[in-house]
Amino acid sequence: MGNIRPSNKDAHDPLLKYGTKRKRNPKNLWKCCVVTAAVIVILLCLLFLIVFVGLPLAFKYSAELQRNLIFPTCDLWPPDPEFTNFKKYDVEGVRNLYVTVNEDDNITLGVWHILPYALVNDSIYDNYNYSDALANSEYPVVLHFHGNGGNRIADLEMYNVLRMFFHIIAFDYRGYADSTAVKPSEEGIVQDSIQLYKWLREQTDAKIYFWGHSLGSALSTHTAARLRSEDIVPMGLFLEAPFTTLKEEIQAIPLTKVFSWLPWYESTMLDPLDEHGFYFRTSDNILMVDCPIMIVHAEDDSNIPSYLGEKLYNIAREKRDPVTQGNVTFHLLPEHLQCNHIQIYNAPDLPNYIR
C-alpha cells in the first residue's frame, strides 16, 4: 500500500477558526467600550440635568415645595402627639387650651400653659385655677416660639429650665399640630402671634418675655418688631440658635452648597424665597426691637452655624441704641458641652444667663 499523507484540514481548521475569532474580538471590545461610554455619558448628562437644572427649577417655581421645606408640618416631633395626656410626657402643672386669634379666618391655636415649678404642687388639686394663677402671678410670663420641625411638646427639656423663672405659654403655629390646618406663612404666623400676645396681655399684668428657637427666633423677633409699631414692647427677647436671614441660613446648609457653584444658584434657589414671601430677615427686624435681647448659640450647632448667631449679635450691637432700645448679649456655648442645635437646655450656665 502507498503511504497516505494525513490531511491537515481537520487538524488545523478549528485552530484557524479560533484564531480568526480572536482577531475579531478587539474590534467587538472596542465597539462595546464606545457604546458603554456613550451610555454612561448620556446617563451622567441626564443626572446632571435632573439634579442641577431640574431640581433648582422645581424649587424656583414651586411655592409649595419651598413652604414644605420651611414648614414641614407633616413630619413633626414628637409624632402622634397627645396634648392632654400629660402623664405620657411626664409633665405636671400644665393645661391645654385653644385660643382664637383670627375670627374672620377662624384661626385657632393650640396652646400649653405651663406653671412655674413653685406652683406645681398646688396644681395637683382638681379645682386648681390656672387662669387665676396667671392673672395674679408674681412670676413673669414667657411666650415660646418653637422651631420649624416640632410641635409644642418638642421643647419639654427647655421648658424645664424656663419654668424655674416663668409661666410658659407654648403654642403651635397655624398649620401645625392641632392648630387650624391652613398653609403656614411668615406673615400669617406673625399676625397670629401678635394677636396671641394681645390675648395674653388681657390674661395677666405680669411681665411678658419672648423666647424663640431656630426658625422661632426669626418669628419672635419679627413679632416684637411689629408690636413696636403699636407702641407695645415685651420685657425682653431671648433668641436660641438664631440666624440672620433665611437666605444666609440656606447657604450655610451643607446640602445646598452642592448647588452654590451654579451660575443660576441665586436666581433659582435664593431669590424665589423673597418672591413667595419667605423673608425671615431677623437682621433687619432686630433693629426695630426696643427691649433687651439675649442670644445663645452652641459652637457645635450643625443646623444653624454659630457664626450666624454671632453675626446677628454684631449687627444688633452696632446698629441699635442700647440706651433707648436695651442692651444685647451673646453667649457662645463651647463645643465640649455638646449642646448642638436642640440641647442648649443642657448648658450649665443657662439659668444664670436668663436671670
What is the set of active-site residues? 214, 301, 341
d(CA 32, CA 10): 33
Distances (CA, A) of 305 to 97, 176, 214, 340, 348: 35, 26, 11, 9, 21
d(CA 105, CA 180): 10
d(CA 64, CA 1): 100
Q: List helix spans (H) across the chain.
A: 9-48, 55-61, 63-70, 117-120, 130-135, 156-162, 186-203, 215-228, 246-252, 254-257, 265, 271-275, 282-285, 306-319, 322-325, 350-354
d(CA 202, CA 38): 72
Sheet with strand 107-114: strands edge to edge: 94-102, 107-114, 167-171, 141-145, 208-213, 236-240, 293-298, 328-333
C-alpha cell of residue 241: 440658635
Angle between helices 215-228 and 186-203 (to 10 degrees): 70
The HSE-up count of residue 154 (CA atoms within 13 Å, CB side) is 23
337 CB-near residues (< 8 Å, 6+ apart): 298, 346, 347, 348
Distances (CA, A) of 147 to 73, 85, 340: 11, 22, 14
d(CA 134, CA 167): 7
d(CA 12, CA 249): 76
